[in-house]
Amino acid sequence: MEKIKNKRILSGIQPTGNLHLGNYLGAIKNWVNLNNDSECLFCIVDLHAITTWPKFDDLNIASREVLAGMIASGVCPKKNTIFIQSHIPEHAELAWIINCVSRIGWLNRMTQFKDKAGKNQEKVSSGLMVYPNLMAADILLYKATHVPTGEDQKQHLELTRDIAHKFNTDVGSEIFPLPEPVIQGPATRVMSLRNGTQKMSKSDISDMTRINLIDCNDTISEKIKKAKTDSGDFPVDKMELEERPEIKNLINIYASISGKNIEQVVENFSSTGFARFKAELTEILINEISPIREVIRELMTESQELDKILDDGSKKASLIAKPVIKEVFDAIGFNKRRDL
Ligand code: TYM
């Protein structure tokens, strides 16, 4: 994992309940590995979560669950700034400005909107359509230089760069750096355990499609046992994986957790087959996840501690956000705000 030095790293995660293996391998594990030498901000994006209008009494608990999952996975709340998006009003302020910079044509190209809206495009909230503008605001408000995410956010990050470039050009000043996407490792796109062409996701109605960080050992074992493979033998060559999405996914997960590369994993199991592979995959998953699960359980009994971490994080984030929004307001020519 390439370390990023002396830069400002920012990433975000929605408070939509417990974290799954995709969040962990695609994003959070990288956050832990990347952040030794740089300032890091991690935002729990509750404003994004309401684009699908969830049950509101769940949002607080869901934010704590995400925080607990992050800490249990190794994100240190002392070294990093972890905060809730809605605590910093400047996110919504900058998002409005970005709504006026970003083009409808750009938003129309966003594949995640098309996936989420499906056939219902006329009926979904307008928030869902401008979701990527809010995401750009999250990043640009802190002048982040690097944004580590899973593969699914790549298009949104490219849009963020276009927005930053257009804003800078329009106001004639290099206010925003163009943030670099950081999408790395063998598990940038962890797929469903039941369908290798669909992303592992919190919103899938079947829990058997994903491994949650709070799953008990028996559940992990059951889910891997039932994970879809195909009728062929274990692959003997990496090239075969392109045609075999379910196998590719399981091998990517194995490689990501074990630190081995894909070729090594294929070579290790090509003579022994799926039964041994699945048994070993189960074992390394349990070794990785069970300590995380236990810490999550413990932390979830300490809600005041968790809320204090988020309050402290908001204070620190606010110190960065306020001067940036002032700079943006000044560049646009808004009348001076007296409280800034
Ligand atoms: P969210 O909450 O869907 O996911 C959080 C992080 O987990 C990654 N991820 C995955 N990686 C690999 N395989 C998967 N199956 C998988 N599922 C999720 C995501 O790529 C993400 O890194 N729009 C963002 C949140 C966001 C954000 C931001 C991210 C809002 N503002 C600013 C970065 C910077 C989202 O919905 O992530």
The pLDDT tens digits of the residues spanning 125-175 come to 999 999 999 999 999 999 999 999 999 999 999 999 999 999 999 999 999
Which of 9, 10, 23, 140 most suits a substitution to test ligand 1, by most atoms within 8 Å of the C-beta?
23
Is residue 74 pLDDT above 90, yes or no?
A: yes
Annotated catalytic residue within 143, 154, 202, 322: 202
Give the pLDDT score at 96: 98
Q: How confident is the model at residue 16 (pLDDT cuts 50, 70, 90)?
A: confident
Is residue 333 pLDDT above 70, yes or no?
A: yes
Same domain, 279 and 151: no
340 belongs to a structural domain? no
Q: Which SS3 state, helix, strand or coil, does residue 22 take?
A: helix
193 belongs to a structural domain? no
Which of 46, 90, 153 most suits a substitution to test ligand 1, by most atoms within 8 Å of the C-beta?
153
Q: How confident is the model at residue 326 (pLDDT cuts 50, 70, 90)?
A: very high
Question: Which numbered atom of ligand 1 lies nearest the CA of 153?
Answer: 20
Contact 220, 282 (CB under 8 A): yes
Rounded mean pLDDT, 291-319:
98
Ligand 1 contacts CB of residue 147 (under 6 A): yes
DSSP-assigned letter for residue 336: P
2 belongs to a structural domain? no
Contact 67, 82 (CB under 8 A): yes
Give the pLDDT score at 4: 65
Question: Which numbered atom of ligand 1 lies nearest the CA of 132?
Answer: 23
Is residue 1 pLDDT above 80, yes or no?
A: no
Q: How confident is the model at residue 41 (pLDDT cuts 50, 70, 90)?
A: very high
Distance 23 CA to ligand 1 centre (A): 7
Q: Where are the alpha helices (DSSP H) in the chain?
A: 21-23, 29-34, 46-49, 59-72, 90-99, 104-108, 111-117, 126-129, 131-140, 154-171, 217-226, 245-258, 262-269, 274-299, 303-332
> Which CATH number belongs to the domain containing residue 14 in this structure?
3.40.50.620
Q: How confident is the model at residue 37 (pLDDT cuts 50, 70, 90)?
A: confident
> Which CATH number belongs to the domain containing residue 213 in this structure?
1.10.240.10
Same domain, 66 and 12: yes
Give the pLDDT score at 57: 76
Establish whether 315 is a catalytic residue: no
Same domain, 314 and 224: no
Q: Per-residue pLDDT tens for 284-294?
A: 999 999 999 99
Query: Among the listed ranges 55-59, 77-81, 274-278, which one has the minimum average pLDDT value?
Result: 55-59
160 belongs to a structural domain? yes
Same domain, 294 and 312: no
Q: How many domains does the chain have?
A: 2
Q: Per-residue pLDDT tens for 228-260?
A: 998 899 999 999 999 999 999 999 999 999 999
Give the pLDDT score at 321: 98
Same domain, 134 and 62: yes
Could you tell me which of 90, 176, 103, 171 has the C-alpha nearest to residue 138?
90
Contact 12, 44 (CB under 8 A): yes
Same domain, 98 and 239: no
Rounded mean pLDDT, 46-68:
91
Q: How confident is the model at residue 56 (pLDDT cuts 50, 70, 90)?
A: confident
Give the pLDDT score at 2: 61
Same domain, 224 and 176: no
Give the pLDDT score at 335: 77
Mean pLDDT for all residues in the chain = 95
Could you tell me which of 36, 109, 29 has the C-alpha nearest to residue 70?
29
Residue of 2 and 122 predicted with greater confidence: 122
184 belongs to a structural domain? yes
Give the pLDDT score at 340: 61
CA distance 251 to 229: 11
Give the pLDDT score at 14: 97
217 belongs to a structural domain? yes
CA distance 181 to 192: 24
Rounded to two decimals, what is the model's pTM? 0.96
Rounded mean pLDDT, 315-336:
94
Same domain, 90 and 147: yes
What range defines the domain where residue 240 resides?
207-298
Same domain, 228 and 165: no
198 belongs to a structural domain? no
202 belongs to a structural domain? no
Ligand 1 contacts CB of residue 265 (under 6 A): no
Ligand 1 contacts CB of residue 137 (under 6 A): no
CA distance 151 to 73: 20
Give the pLDDT score at 216: 98
CA distance 307 to 305: 5
Q: Per-residue pLDDT tens for 76-93?
A: 999 999 999 999 999 999
Give the pLDDT score at 55: 79
CA distance 222 to 220: 5
Give the pLDDT score at 139: 98
How is residue 83 written in tokens?
Answer: 């905060």
Same domain, 86 and 213: no
